[in-house]
Structure 1
C-alpha cells in the first residue's frame, strides 16, 4: 500500500497579513499588479489575457469595470521576474493599438486579499456634492473606518452612492459612535446617510412592511374623511399630537373618529379615489415584488379606504382599523382590534412567521411615534420623513419625499430597477425640479 504523503497547509495556501488565506504563487513567480485604462471597446480584455497567456502568467485576482465609457482593468498576478521586460513590452504594445495605457508594478511581498468590508454606507441626496463625500470620508477616518469601494447606485430621483467600508471595531455595538457621528451630518449636509452591516445579513432581507399614511401615501386618511365633516383642522391637530407621541394612539384615534359620526358611507369611496401615492411608491412595491420580497402595510387608518390600494399594488398583507357603519352611516366608532403601536410590531412578527422568515430579515418603514415598536422590532427600521421621536430609534432616515430610497438602502441599484421596467413596459421617469 502506497504511503500517504503529508501536505502542509503552507504548500497549498499562504496566509495574508489580515489573517485570511489566499491561493499561493507558483514556485519561482513574483507578485505583480497590472493595470489597463482607456476608452472601452471590444477586444481589449481578450487581447490583454492573450498576452498574459503567452508569458505563462498566473492569475490571482482580476477586476474590470466600465465607467461612463472608460474601462479600467486590473489584475493581480504571478510573473517570471526574468520575463517582466518582455511582458511589459508585450502588454504595452498590444494594448496601444486599442487606445489603452498599461502599467506593471512588481510587489516585494504578497498583497493581502481583498478586504471583507464590514459595513455598507449609502449616501442619497439631490444633489450629492463632493463636499458631502469629503465630510463623510473624514468622519469615517476619524473613527478608523476605511473605504474599500465606491459605486454609484442611483441617478434618479436622487443621486445615490454606495460605499463598502471596513469599521475597526466590528463587535456588537462597536460602530454606535460612528453611526451617531454620521447621523449628525444628515441635517447639516442635507443628504441621507444609511449604514448597515455588510454581507449575507444585508442580503437576507425578504419582507418589507410599510406604514400607510404619510409613508406609502402622501396624506392622512382620517383627516381626509374629517374634511367631509367640516372638522379637518380639529382632527389634524389631534393627529399631530399623536404622531409626536404626546397622546396615546388608541385614545386619540377614538376621539378623532367621533368627528366622523353621521357621515354617509359613500364618503369612504370618495376618499379612496383621492388617495395619492408617495412618489416612488408604485416603483418600490413593484420592484420588491419582482425580486420575491413579501410586502405588507399596517395602518392606523381604515381598511375600508385601503382595500382598493392594497389590491392595486398587490401587497401581500394588510391590516388597519375598521370603521363601524350602521344603516349606511359612520357611527363615529371603530370595531375590532385597534392597530396601535404595539399591534404594528406584533403584526410585523406575524407576517414574518407566516412567510417563514426571522425578524432580522424584515424591514419596517414609517413616519410617526405609532411606528416606534415596529421599527425597533424589524431587522432594519427606516424613518420616512419622520417625527423626531421615530428618528431617534430608527436605524436610518429618509428625508427626501421619494420612497425609492428604500430600494437603494437595500442595495438595489436604479439601473436594475429600470432594466426590469423596460422589459415589461412600465419604465417611466417624471421630470423633477432641482431643489
Structure 2
C-alpha cells in the first residue's frame, strides 16, 4: 500500500439537521408524491414509516425501507424531480442553512481541507447542495438500477450509523489520508461512529444524548446558528 500523505486531511459533514434544517429524504418524498399525485403509494409509504417509528425500528432499517419505495421509479424522472425539489426547498426556506456550520465548512476549505458530505440520502438529492458549497465528494446511498429504473435495493455500505464510518474509512484509504488529521460534524447519536472515525469530532447541538457523550469525551459542541 502507498504511504499515507500526512498533510492531506478532509472535513466530513452530515447533511440533515447539521448543514441544513431539513430531513432531505423525507422532504423529497413528500414533494415527489405531490408532483406525481400517487396518493395510494404515498399512503402506503407514510403508513409504513409511521408504524416503524412507533415500533422504535432502527434508523438503518427505516432507511432501507425508505428506498424500497423507489422500486420501479425511472432514474431520470427522480433526478429531474430532485433538482426541482431542491430549488423549491431553497425558495421556501430562507432559514434552510445552518450558518454556523456552513462557516465551519468554509473555514476548512480556506485552510486547504476538502469538505465531504456524508448522508443516508442519495446523490441526486445532494448534488445541488454540494455544488452550492463547492464540495466535490459525496458519501451517500447508492441505489441499484436495472433498465433505467430503481429496484428498491441499495448497495453497501449503507451510509447511516456504522456505515458512515465504513464509507469514511474506505474513502480515506483511497485518498491515502490519515483519519487522525480529519474532522467530522454530526448532530445525532447515529452519527457517533462517523465522529469516532476521525481525530477531530464536532457535535452540532440538537441531540441531548450525543451532547452528553461529547461532553464526557471532551469533544467540541457548537450551535447550528
TM-score by length of 1: 0.39
Cα deviation for residue 301 of structure 1 reads 0.9
CA distance in 2, matches of 1:369, 1:239: 18
Q: Which residue is 2:39 aligned to?
A: none
- Equivalent-residue separation in structure 2 for 1:299 and 1:343 (angstroms): 10
Partner of 1:396: 220
Matches within 5 A, 1:333-412: 333-337=152-156, 338-394=158-214, 395-398=219-222, 400-402=223-225
Which residue matches 1:296?
Answer: 116
Q: CA deviation at 1:237?
A: 4.6
Structure 1: distance between partners of 2:161 and 2:138? 15
Once the two structures are TM-superposed, the CA of residue 348 in structure 1 deviates from its matched residue by 2.3
The answer for the alignment partner of 2:141 in structure 1 is 321
1:238 deviation in Å? 7.1
Q: Which has the higher helix share?
A: 2
Q: For 1:17-32, what aligned pairs fall within 5 Å after superposition?
A: none
The separation in 2 between residues aligned to 1:356 and 1:327, in whole angstroms, is 35
Query: 1:211 offset after TM fit, Å?
Result: 0.7
Cα distance in 1 between the residues matched to 2:189 and 2:57: 10
Match of 1:219 in 2: 22
Aligned partner of 1:271 in structure 2 is 85
Deviation by residue 1:222-276 (Cα, 9 ceiling, x = unmatched) = 211221324586577579679xxx5333321122234455665232222232254
Q: Check the 8 A contact 1:299/1:321 in 2, yes or no.
A: yes
- Alpha-carbon separation, structure 1, partners of 2:190 and 2:101: 21
1:171 maps to what in 2?
none
**Whole-angstrom distance in 1 between the partners of 2:65 and 2:111:** 41
1:255 aligns with 2:54: no
Contact persistence 2:8–2:178 (CA under 8 A): no
Name the CA shift for 1:327/1:285 in 2 (closer, same or farther; >3 Å): same
Instruction: Please state whether the residue corresponding to 2:128 is helix, strand or coil.
Output: helix
Q: C-alpha displacement at 1:360, in angstroms?
A: 2.2
Q: Please state how far the C-alpha of 1:373 moved relative to its aligned partner.
A: 0.7
Judging changes above 3 Å, is the alpha-carbon distance between structure 1 residues 312 and 256 closer, same or farther for their aligned structure 2 residues? same
Following superposition, the deviation at residue 297 of structure 1 comes to 1.2
Higher mean C-alpha displacement, 224-233 vs 290-299: 224-233
Aligned counterparts of 2:201 and 2:192: Cα–Cα separation in 1: 9
Counterpart-to-counterpart distance in 2, 1:239 and 1:385: 26
d(CA) in 1 for partners of 2:24, 2:100: 19
Q: What is the CA deviation profile of residues 196-216 of structure 1, one whole-angstrom value per residue up to 9, with x for unaligned ones? A: xxxxxxxx9942111111112
Write the distance in 1 (CA, Å) between the matches of 2:140 and 2:198. Answer: 19
Q: Indicate how the Cα distance of structure 1 residues 221 and 240 shifts in structure 2: closer, same or farther if over 3 A, else same.
A: farther
Q: Distance in 2 between matches of 1:376 and 1:392?
A: 15
Distance 1:328 1:358, change over 3 A: closer
- Cα distance in structure 2, aligned partners of 1:257 and 1:377: 26
Q: Distance in 1 between matches of 2:29 and 2:190?
A: 20
C-alpha separation in 2, matches of 1:239 and 1:217: 25
Q: What's the offset of the Cα at 1:326?
A: 6.1
Structure of greater relative contact order (alpha carbons < 8 Å, 6+ residues apart)? 2
CA contact (8 A) 1:262 1:329 kept: yes
Q: Is the 8 A contact 1:213 1:221 kept in 2?
A: yes
Deviation at 1:312, TM superposition (A): 3.1
Structure 1 spans left out of the alignment, 5+ residues: 1-203, 403-435
Instruction: Tell me how far apart the structure 2 counterparts of residues 397 and 293 of structure 1 sit (CA, whole Å).
Output: 20
More strand by share: 1
1:307 aligns with 2:127: yes
